[in-house]
Amino acid sequence: MCPGIATDHEYSEQELDRIIQEAVEANGSVRDAVIPILSEINQKLGFIPVESLGKIRRYINTPEAGLFLADSHLYAVASFYQMFSLTPTGKHVVRYCASAPCHVEGGRQVIEALQEQLGLQPGETSHDNQWTLLKTSCLGVCGVGPVFLVDQDIYGNVTPEKIPHILAKYR
């Protein structure tokens, strides 16, 4: 299990401020830093609380230097990438690859097994906040398809039979 992933989506204002401040310090207050800062929040909290956008903007927005960053810019980025979530996720996030190469290698059976074993449809989070199931596109490791991710860990050549063992590591 990958360290650094938040255990649940309770977080304090101060924590969020600290995460953003550290991410800004590490990546600079420039436009290019937006994605690394968003990833940092997503990783630490499991999702990007929408109020982070206003906080990030205040660091980076420098109209006098020709850069005006509004919430709309940040929201466009945060909502575009599938690796970001704008809603709280469960303790563990399972993202399965839904692109064609994985699909033809038996991906469909894997997806069905995941849905059944977790009792979730893509996009849903379990009632006990333990699991979130998400769909993603090609992860770039098609050679070992079908593929899914649990948090930051990647699993290749998966079959429906292997799924209980993989999930058990996180229960």
Partner 1 sequence: MISLTINNQTLEVPDGSTVLQAAEMAGIAIPTLCFHKDLSPYGGCRLCVVEVQGTRLPMTSCILPINPGMVVNTESEALTRYRKAILRMLLQNYYDAGYKRNNGKLGIDRENELAHWAEVYGIDIEQYMAKKPAFAVDSDPNPFVWVDLNKCIQCTRCVRACAEIQGRFVWSQSYRGYKARIVAGSDTTMLQARCESCGACVAYCPTGALDNKMSVSAGLADRLVRTTCAYCGVGCQLDLNVQDNVPGRRVIRVTSNTDPATVNKRHLCLKGRYGYDFIHSSTRLTQPRVRQYLLDSAPRPKDRGKWVDVDWETALRVAANGLVQAWQAGGSDAIGILGSGNLLNEESYLLGKLARQVIGTNQIDCCAHIYASDLSEHLLDAAGIPAMQNPFDEIASKAGTLLVIGSNLTEQHPVFGAKIRQAILRRKIKMVVVSPDFFNIAEYAALPLYPKPNTEAILVQGLIHFILEKHLADHAKCQMGSEDITKLKEAVAKYSARKTSDLTGVAIDALYEAAEILTREPPLSVIMSDGLADRTVARQNMQSLINLQRLLGSLDTPGGGVNFLGSQNNIRGAGDLGSTPNRLPGYQNCKNSTARAKFEQAWGVALSSAPGLSAWDMLKSVSEGKVKALYIAGEDALNVSPDGGQARRSLDACEFVVYQTSVATETARYADVLLPGVTFAEKTGSFTNAERRIQMVHQAIEPIGAASPDWQIFKELAKRILPSIERQISPAAYSNWDYTDTAEIMQEIAALTPIYYGVSHSRLDQAGSLFWPVESEEHPGTTFLQTAYFEPIQNTFIPIKLIVPEGYQTPILTPV
* All residues at 6 or more sequence positions from 112 whose CB lies less than 8 Å from its CB, including other chains: 160
Write down the least CB distance from residue 58 to partner 1, Å: 11
* Site map 16..55 versus partner 1, x via CB under 8 A: ----------------------------------x--xx-
How many angstroms separate the most distant Cα atoms in the chain? 59
* Site map 71..110 versus partner 1, x via CB under 8 A: xxxxxx--xx-x----------------------------
Residue 65 contact among partner 1, ligand FES, none, beta carbon within 5 to 8 Å by kind? partner 1
Is residue 65 part of the contact set for partner 1 (CB under 8 A)?
Answer: yes
Enumerate the β-bridge partners of residue 92: 131
Give yes or no for a contact between 82 and 123, defined as CB atoms under 8 angstroms apart: no
Residues near ligand FES (CB under 6 A): 97, 99, 101-102, 138-142, 145, 147
Pick left, alpha or beta for residue 123 (phi over 0 → left; psi -120 to 50 → alpha; otherwise beta): left
Q: Six-digit token pair at 158?
A: 């998966």
Other CB atoms within 10 A of residue 49 CB: 16
Residue 116 contact among ligand FES, partner 1, none, beta carbon within 5 to 8 Å by kind? none
How would you write 26-58 as a 3-class SS string? HHCCCHHHHHHHHHHHHHHHCCCCCHHHHHHHH
Is residue 4 part of the contact set for partner 1 (CB under 8 A)?
Answer: no
Residue 72 contact among partner 1, ligand FES, none, beta carbon within 5 to 8 Å by kind? partner 1
Write down the least CB distance from residue 135 to partner 1, Å: 11
| Cβ distance to ligand FES smaller for residue 102 or 163 | 102
